Amino acid sequence: MEFWFKEAQTKDLALEVRVTDILHLQQTPYQKLAVIETVEYGRMLILDGAIQCTERDEFLYHEMITHVPLFVHPNPQRVCVIGGGDGGTVREILKHPSVEEIKHVEIDGAVVEASKKFLPTLSCGLDDPRVEILITDGIKYLENTKGYFDVIIIDSTDPVGPAVGLFSAEFYGYAFKALREDGVICAQTESPFANTKLLLKSWNNMRVHFPHVGVTIGYMPTYPTGFWSYTIGSKKVELKANRQVNLSGKYFTKSVMDKAFDLPPFIKDLLNNGQ
Amino acid sequence: MEFWFKEAQTKDLALEVRVTDILHLQQTPYQKLAVIETVEYGRMLILDGAIQCTERDEFLYHEMITHVPLFVHPNPQRVCVIGGGDGGTVREILKHPSVEEIKHVEIDGAVVEASKKFLPTLSCGLDDPRVEILITDGIKYLENTKGYFDVIIIDSTDPVGPAVGLFSAEFYGYAFKALREDGVICAQTESPFANTKLLLKSWNNMRVHFPHVGVTIGYMPTYPTGFWSYTIGSKKVELKANRQVNLSGKYFTKSVMDKAFDLPPFIKDLLNNGQ
């Protein structure tokens, strides 16, 4: 007897993983949530049919979405995470000793609860005293915040359903105002191979507000095409390490940081031709 | 009406792509060969159910398997390609002006013929006067060659069927003897995430003969886990660019070459723990 989970990654592409157990299934007010056990990738969190993270490869995503923007900032103290209810981004932020407080804004409390119960290697930092979890709409939260954060990380789901607004110029404008003067923003912006339109849209929308905008890429086996983009904006500081890179992960290193904004020609061309 | 091709990438993982046409199907003396048209990746060559290359992402693989070893060599003149019947590796080698001759050793002539007919963007270099195509067994060919080549590239299929011997210590020994004194070898060695055993085995087997052995990695969307390893051995020269990197591809750049052997910690750990 065989059980498989199939994700329609695009309308023309699908990934299938063998499943050994379905640990949790829930219809939340926002989405369908599942936690399953897979042979290839360990435990996997799925929202509305899309793989969010797996125990085995999540470090590749969480190290890139966190450490690149946090080393662009010269002294990150207050960090906001929009989305990312699994806790992986918060876990990585906590590795930076300068960070004093993390506001973790997740619209769907069920994601946080499921992750605390089933994904302890991701959610392990959520009870840290520096972390405050706010179960609310990230767009409204940032609209009402002024000049408070050093870094904002948009760890959203795909640009369908509740996350659509998180890729808009209007939202990046709220984020700009919610940041202090050295502020840095980082958003996950999908696969540069499978969803080039979304990457271009986010990049152009971020440039409406931020004077410095760059893209970094990294491996991510369980996401469509196996690699992923992160778009980073800065209000003032240049897009490079603005303090000593004294942290090394399983993937992220000083060397990754040194080349973070040094894009391959095919992605440079994509951005330049899409202006 | 929908048509899909499904590749069982491992026993627990599969990739599916939407198919618009089946251009060619053939049982060769060695394997089942198919060329199909897909929406996401353009034309795709499939051998025994495994995706070999697609028009859209092949540059990522062919630029890495070629330019990294060719820039490790101080002056590559004679290059041997074992496998790679689609022609993508030969196309990239021809971009190096120092190269005077390429012996292209492919066991299955049907792969070359199908590529010439259906994949012109890959096979475009196969008629170059510097290229000689030899339809024969690469293992026997190298066993009978002594001190001739500057670079040998093992552009093999997966380690099942006719390609098994291409990952053995015995074969790497033949390659060592077939190289001149500055000689460099490069072999595709599968996904460091899905097939760690094969990468370790190849790395250890190559070290039986070559004093300098390193691994480089790169993106490859249509291969299992979306990233791929290439194991490179050198008889004498250090594993770095040993001449000016004056060539830039769609992915490969001087910057990629500079960091080519600077592996992420999780792959370094894998190699160190598997010794």
Which of A6, A21, A54, A227 is the mutation pick for testing B, counting most B CBs within 10 A?
A227
- For residue A32, the cross-strand partners are A27
pLDDT at A1 over 90: no
pLDDT tier for residue A240 given thresholds of 50, 70 and 90: very high
In this prediction, residues B188-194 reach a mean pLDDT of 95
Nearest to B251 among A17, A39, A266 (CB): A266
CATH architecture under which domain A4-54 falls: Roll (2.30)
Q: Is the dihedral of CA B151, B156, B162, B167 positive or negative?
A: positive
The reply to whether residue B227 touches residue A249, judged by beta carbons under 8 angstroms, is no
Query: Mind listing the pLDDT tens digit for each residue in B168-181?
Result: 999 999 999 999 99
Q: Does residue A137 carry a catalytic annotation? A: no
Give, in degrees to the nearest 5, the angle at Cα A217 between A215 and A223: 125
Total beta-carbon pairs less than 8 A apart between chain A and chain B: 100
Instruction: Say how far apart CA B200 and CA B30 lie, in whole Å.
Output: 27
B229 chain-A contacts, CB cut-off 8 A:
none
**Nearest 5°: phi and psi at B152?**
-120, 130
Nearest to A219 among B4, B18, B227 (CB): B227
A256 chain-B contacts, CB cut-off 8 A:
264
Residues 6+ apart with CB under 8 A from B35: B22, B23, B24, B43, B44, B45, B46, B114, B118, B119
Tokens of A244: 């000593």
ipTM above 0.90, yes or no: yes
**Nearest 5°: phi and psi at A215?**
-125, 140
Question: What is the full DSSP assignment across A46-65?
Answer: EETTEEEEETTTHHHHHHHH
**Nearest 5°: phi and psi at A132?**
-115, 120
Query: Mind listing the pLDDT tens digit for each residue in A42-53?
Result: 999 999 999 999
Q: Is the dihedral of CA B58, A227, A237, A211 positive or negative?
A: positive
Cα-trace Rg, chain B: 17
Query: Mind listing the pLDDT tens digit for each residue in B226-239?
Result: 999 999 999 999 99
Instruction: Say how far apart CA B7 and CA A58 lie, in whole Å.
Output: 24
Instruction: Say how far apart CA B10 and CA A17 lie, in whole Å.
Output: 10
Mean pLDDT, rounded, of chain A: 97
pLDDT tier for residue A274 given thresholds of 50, 70 and 90: confident
Instruction: Say how far apart CA A53 and CA A23 lie, in whole Å.
Output: 15
Helix (H, G, I), strand (E, B) or coil at A20: strand
Query: Mind listing the pLDDT tens digit for each residue in A188-234?
Result: 999 999 999 999 999 999 999 999 999 999 999 999 999 999 999 99
pLDDT at residue number B266: 96
Lowest mean pLDDT among A64-73, A157-166, B23-32, B103-112: A157-166
Nearest partner of B60 among A267, A220, A258, A254, judged by Cα: A267
- Compute the half-sphere exposure of residue A113: CA atoms within 13 Å on the CB side of its CA: 11
Q: Is the dihedral of CA B26, B66, B122, A262 positive or negative?
A: positive
The reply to whether residue A259 touches residue B255, judged by beta carbons under 8 angstroms, is yes
Domain boundaries, chain B: 4-52, 58-273
Q: Is the dihedral of CA B252, A234, A152, A244 positive or negative?
A: positive
The reply to whether residue B265 touches residue A253, judged by beta carbons under 8 angstroms, is yes
Cβ contact B224:B183 at 8 Å = no
pLDDT at residue number B204: 96
B264 chain-A contacts, CB cut-off 8 A:
250-251, 253, 256
Residue of B nearest to A56 (CA): B193
Cβ contact B249:B218 at 8 Å = no
Containing A115, the helix (H) or strand (E) segment is: helix A109-118
Residues 6+ apart with CB under 8 A from A83: A105, A106, A107, A138, A154, A155, A156, A157, A163, A166
Of A48, A155, A182, A262, which is the active-site residue?
Answer: A155
pLDDT at residue number A273: 86
Tell me the CATH number for domain B58-273.
Answer: 3.40.50.150
Instruction: Say how far apart CA A249 and CA A14 lie, in whole Å.
Output: 30
Give, in degrees to the nearest 5, the angle at Cα B220 between B214 and B225: 90
The reply to whether residue B59 touches residue A250, judged by beta carbons under 8 angstroms, is no
Cβ contact A186:A65 at 8 Å = yes
Nearest to B193 among A17, A193, A221 (CB): A221
pLDDT tier for residue B275 given thresholds of 50, 70 and 90: low
pLDDT at residue number A275: 62
Lowest mean pLDDT among A67-71, A264-268, B153-157, B161-165: B161-165
Query: Mind listing the pLDDT tens digit for each residue in B92-102?
Result: 999 999 999 99
pLDDT at A162 over 80: no
The reply to whether residue B40 touches residue A256, judged by beta carbons under 8 angstroms, is no
The reply to whether residue B18 touches residue A4, judged by beta carbons under 8 angstroms, is no
Q: CA of B65 to nearest chain A CA: how many angstroms apart?
A: 16
pLDDT at residue number A245: 98
pLDDT tier for residue B274 given thresholds of 50, 70 and 90: confident
pLDDT at residue number B242: 98
Tell me the CATH number for domain B4-52.
Answer: 2.30.140.10
Residue of A nearest to B247 (CA): A265
Query: Mind listing the pLDDT tens digit for each residue in B156-168?
Result: 999 887 788 999 9
The reply to whether residue A12 touches residue B17, judged by beta carbons under 8 angstroms, is yes
Full 3-state SS string of chain B:
CCCEEEEEEECCEEEEEEEEEEEEEEECCCCEEEEEEECCCEEEEEECCEEEEECCCHHHHHHHHHHHHHHHCCCCCEEEEEECCCCHHHHHHCCCCCCCEEEEEECCHHHHHHHHHHCHHHHCCCCCCCEEEEECCHHHHHHCCCCCEEEEEEECCCCCHHHHHHHCHHHHHHHHHHEEEEEEEEEECCCCCCCHHHHHHHHHHHHCCCCEEEEEEEECCCCHHHEEEEEEEECCCCCCCCCCCCCCCCCCCHHHHHCCCCCCHHHHHHHHHCC
